[in-house]
Amino acid sequence: MSVSLTVDLLDSALYADGNPYEVWRAMREAGPVHHQVAKSGARHWAVVGHEAGKQVLTDWRVFTSTRGTTLRESDNSAPYPGAGKMPVLTDPPRHTELRRAVAPLFTPRAVEKLGALGREVAGALLADLRERGGGDFVTDVAARFPLAVQAEILGIAPDDIPLVLDATGRSADETGDGATGHHDVMAYYLKALGTRRGDAGRDLVGTLLQARTAGLPLSDEEIVLTCDNIVVAATQTAQHAASGALLALLEHPDAWRALRAGRVDPDCAIDELLRFTAPATHVMRTAVCDTELAGTAIRAGDAVAVWIPSANRDGSVFADPDELVLDRRPNPHLSLGAGMHFCLGGPMVRVLLRALLEDLIGAGTSLALANPPVRKSGAVANGLRSLPVTVVPA
């Protein structure tokens, strides 16, 4: 297959039928770093190799998160809303402070406790799906599951779950509705903050208020922005990971049978499913000084984007990179980030995936594709809009 290396990686048409793996493969063969110019004229360096990608994600002193983490069609050097005020858009020492402030919500003990609830919720959602003979796995299970499990620690009242679920879903919309989704999430937490003065509870708002009481300089704006950051990430990452994992298994029946038969360690399989599907399509950083990356000169102020699915299929790191190998070890994928910005909820994503897989593995029936899936068409999130499934004999 002949591929033009001048392709615009921000062109949504590239993602309508899935990620452009052939494009990324051709780019990797030519080199790990490429200069990109979008149709709008916005420029960035596209990092498609694993080693260079990991360097960008881990070296925060050279590649900052404070100027945005996703590419824009316009000027990537323009001021970014919320910069320096929420975990995803900060570097140390501020990032370390904000991360430490919310860490009590994600301790191993807290994650283990939510794992038990995850199994209960997964069982109920999948039982309902089976009772109806099938449905849309994205809307019926994957979208509802993460928030249903994490609502209590995120400070979301049961009656408010549909409202927040709708807002977080819209926040990930790359067609123009994303800002309104974030606005509604922040409005929800601003209202919650107004009723919680002095209340150091054990949910997200209470934990942040407790950190402020303990001496961490933390404005109301920073609390609300941090809540938005964590809630959107907690729901969207797990949703895309769950739906992508099921589709990968349905499209690889031999691997699915091996997993159901107990021939593969589920935890090992989860890492491979994360590598193979990669919930985020790209992550951007900005160079803060002139530097060199894989032999390429990068200037201060340049936008540098790591294309995660491409890095995850770098043949210099992964044998048979385009194959789903559920017992792959080692598996240094970048799906949950790396270094200082490794996904705070990464252990939670794994626990939620395990809960779903355990129910699917132990069920007396199985699932099959009812119709072709509908993918998100964009360069930010690697997810599905719809995954129609039907119930079949195991």
What is the b/e burial string over 79-91, where b = at least 16 CB atoms within 10 angstroms of the residue's CB? ebebbbbbbbbbb
Domain of 247? 12-393
C-alpha span between 111 and 199 (Å, rounded)? 23
Residue 185 located in a structural domain:
yes
Residue 3 located in a structural domain:
no
What is the domain-level CATH number for residue 171? 1.10.630.10
Residue 6 located in a structural domain:
no
What angle is formed at CA 389 by the lines to CA 385 and CA 394, rounded to 5 degrees? 145
**Is residue 18 left, alpha or beta, with left meaning phi > 0 and alpha meaning psi from -120 to 50?**
left
Residue 258 located in a structural domain:
yes
- Neighbour tally for 322: CB within 10 Å: 10
Residue 7 located in a structural domain:
no
Residue 5 located in a structural domain:
no
| Contact (Cβ atoms closer than 8 angstroms) between residue 166 and residue 194 | no
C-alpha span between 38 and 284 (Å, rounded)? 15
Give CA separation, 330 vs 254, 260, 263, 325, 342, in Å.
Answer: 21, 22, 18, 11, 18
pLDDT tens by residue, the chain, 394 residues: 344 467 889 888 888 888 899 999 999 999 999 999 888 788 899 999 999 999 999 999 999 999 999 998 777 777 788 889 999 999 999 999 999 999 989 888 888 888 899 999 999 999 999 999 999 999 999 999 999 999 999 999 999 999 999 999 888 776 666 788 899 999 999 998 888 766 666 899 999 999 999 999 999 999 999 999 999 988 999 999 999 999 999 999 999 999 999 999 999 999 999 999 999 999 999 999 999 999 999 999 999 999 999 999 999 999 999 999 999 999 999 999 999 899 888 888 999 999 999 999 999 899 999 999 999 878 888 889 999 999 999 8
Residue 4 located in a structural domain:
no
User: Which residues, 6 or more positions from 83, have their beta carbon under 8 angstroms from its beta carbon?
Assistant: 66, 67, 68, 89
Helical segments of the chain, H only:
21-30, 50-58, 94-102, 108-131, 137, 145-154, 161-171, 178-194, 204-213, 220-251, 253-260, 266-277, 308-311, 346-362
What angle is formed at CA 233 by the lines to CA 376 and CA 37, rounded to 5 degrees? 55
Residue 111 located in a structural domain:
yes
User: Which residues, 6 or more positions from 114, have their beta carbon under 8 angstroms from its beta carbon?
Assistant: 149, 150, 153, 348, 351
Residue 209, classed as helix, strand or coil, is helix
Total domains, the chain: 1
